[in-house]
Structure 1
Amino acid sequence: MAQRVILAIDEGTTNSKVVLVDAGGKIIASGSAPVPITHPQSGWVQQDAEEIWAATSHAIASCLRQAPKVQIVAIGISNQRESILIWDRKTGQPLGPVVTWQCRRTAAACDALRDAGHEAGVIAKTGLPLDPMFPPTKAAWLMQHHGQAAKDICIGTVDSWLIWKLSGGKVHATDCSNAARTQLFNLAKGRWDPELCQLFGVEIDCLPKVCDSSHIFGETSGLSVLGDGIPIASAIGDSHAALFGHGAFASGDGKITFGTGSSVMTTIAQFTPPPQGITTTIAWSIQGQPTFAFEGNILVSAAIFPWTAKLLGLAGVEALLDLAQSVADAGGVSLVPAHVGLGAPHWDSHARGLISGLSFTTQPAHIARAAADSLAHQTADIYDFITEAGSDLGRIFVDGGPSTNPFLMQLVADTLSHAVTPCRNSEASAIGAAHLAGLATGFWPDLGALTALAAHGTPYQPHLPEPLRDPLRRVWREAVARATLHL
Structure 2
Amino acid sequence: MSYIGSLDQGTSSTRFMIFDKAGRVVGQHQLEHRQILPNAGWVEHDAFEIWQRAQDVIAGALKQADLLGSDLVGIGITNQRETIAIWDKKTGHPLSNAIVWQDTRTGDFLSALTPEQCKTITFKTGLAIAPYFSGSKINWLINNVPAIQSAIIDGRALVGTIDSWLLWNLSGGVRGGVHATDVTNASRTLLMNLETLSWDEELLKIFSVPIEILPEIRSSSEIYAYTDPAGPFGTSIPIAGILGDQQAAMVGQVCFDRGESKTTYGTGNFALLNTGTEIVRSKNGLLT
TM-score of the pair, normalised by structure 2: 0.93
CA distance in 1, matches of 2:266, 2:201: 37
Counterpart pick for 1:12 among 10, 13, 32:
10
- Note closer, same or farther for the CA distance 1:205–1:260 as it changes in structure 2 (3 Å cut): closer
User: What stretches of structure 1 move > 4 A for 4+ residues in a row?
Assistant: none
Q: Counterpart in 1 of 2:162?
A: 158
CA–CA separation in structure 2 for the residues paired with 1:51 and 1:120: 38
- How far has the Cα of 1:34 moved from its partner? 0.5
Distance apart, 1:250 and its partner CA: 1.0
Residue number in structure 1 paired with 2:107? 107
- Cα deviation, residue 259, structure 1: 4.5
One-letter amino acid of the counterpart of residue 271, structure 1: I
Offset of 1:224 from its aligned partner?
4.3
Aligned counterpart in structure 2 of residue 197 of structure 1, from 199, 204, 210:
204
Distance 2:208 2:284 in 1: 26
Partner of 1:277: 285
Aligned to 2:240, the other structure's residue is in SS state: strand
Instruction: Tell me, yes or no, if the aligned pair for 1:132 and 1:138 is still in contact at 8 Å.
Output: yes
Q: Distance in 2 between matches of 1:106 and 1:54?
A: 28
User: Structure 1: how far apart are the matches of 2:134 and 2:61?
Assistant: 31
Alpha-carbon separation, structure 2, partners of 1:34 and 1:238: 17
Q: Deviations over 1:156-191 (max 9, x none)?
A: 000000000100122000000000011100011111
- 1:176 and 1:210 map into 2 onto residues whose CA distance is 6
Distance 1:73 1:260 in 2: 31
CA contact (8 A) 2:84 2:161 kept: yes
Give the Cα–Cα distance (whole angstroms) in 2 for the partners of residues 69 and 241 of structure 1: 25
Q: Hey, what's the Cα distance between the residues in 2 that align with 1:227 and 1:132?
A: 39
Per-residue CA deviations over 1:96-123 (Å, capped at 9, x if unaligned) read: 110000001111001111x454212111
C-alpha distance after superposition, 1:415-468 (max 9, x if no partner) = xxxxxxxxxxxxxxxxxxxxxxxxxxxxxxxxxxxxxxxxxxxxxxxxxxxxxx
Deviations 1:359-410 (A, max 9, x none): xxxxxxxxxxxxxxxxxxxxxxxxxxxxxxxxxxxxxxxxxxxxxxxxxxxx
Higher RCO (CA < 8 A, seq sep 6+): 2
Q: Secondary structure at the match of 1:118?
A: helix
Q: Deviations over 1:259-280 (max 9, x none)?
A: 5642110111211222332101
2:240 corresponds to 1:233: yes
Cα distance, 1:12 vs structure 2: 0.2
In the other structure, the counterpart of 1:72 is 72
Paired position in structure 1 for 2:129: 130
Taking only aligned residues, the RMSD between alpha carbons, in angstroms, comes to 1.4
Take 1:125 and 1:136, find their aligned partners in 2: how far apart are those partners?
Answer: 13
Partner of 1:92: 92
1:414 aligns with none
Deviation, structure 1 residue 200: 0.5
The residue aligned with 1:172 is 179
Preserved CA contact (<8 Å) 1:166 1:223: no
- Mapped to 1, the partners of 2:210 and 2:59 lie a distance apart of 36
Q: 1:87–1:259: structure 2 CA closer, same or farther, 3 Å change rule?
A: closer
Paired residues of 1:136 and 1:183 also in contact (CA < 8 A): yes
Could you tell me which residue of structure 2 aligns to residue 243 of structure 1? 250
Correspondence for 1:214 among 210, 214, 221: 221
Amino acid at match of 1:155: V
Structure with the larger helix share? 1
Partner SS state of residue 199, structure 1: helix
Question: Take 1:94 and 1:180, find their aligned partners in 2: how far apart are those partners?
Answer: 23
Following superposition of structure 1 onto structure 2, how do residues 56-455 of structure 1 map, counting pairs within 5 Å?
A: 56-69=54-67, 71-113=71-113, 115-146=114-145, 147=148, 148-150=150-152, 151-169=155-173, 170-259=177-266, 261-269=268-276, 270-280=278-288
Cα distance in 1 for partners of 2:29, 2:268 equals 25
Moved more, 178-187 or 250-259: 250-259
Pick closer, same or farther for the CA change 1:118–1:98 going to 2, 3 Å: same
Q: Which runs of 5+ in 1 are unaligned?
A: 281-487
C-alpha contact 1:9 1:18 (8 A) present in aligned 2: yes
Aligned residues: 277
The residue that corresponds to 1:21 in the other structure is 19
Q: Under a length normalisation based on structure 1, what TM-score does the superposition of the two structures give? A: 0.55
Q: Once the two structures are superposed, what CA deviation does each residue of 1:140-162 show, in whole Å capped at 9, x if it has no partner?
A: 11112231243221110000000
* 1:36–1:47 Cα contact (<8 Å) kept: yes
State the alpha-carbon separation in 2 of the partners of residues 264 and 143 from structure 1: 32
Distance apart, 1:256 and its partner CA: 1.2
Q: Percent identity?
A: 39
Specify every segment of 5 or more residues in structure 2 that has no aligned partner in the other structure, as ranges: none
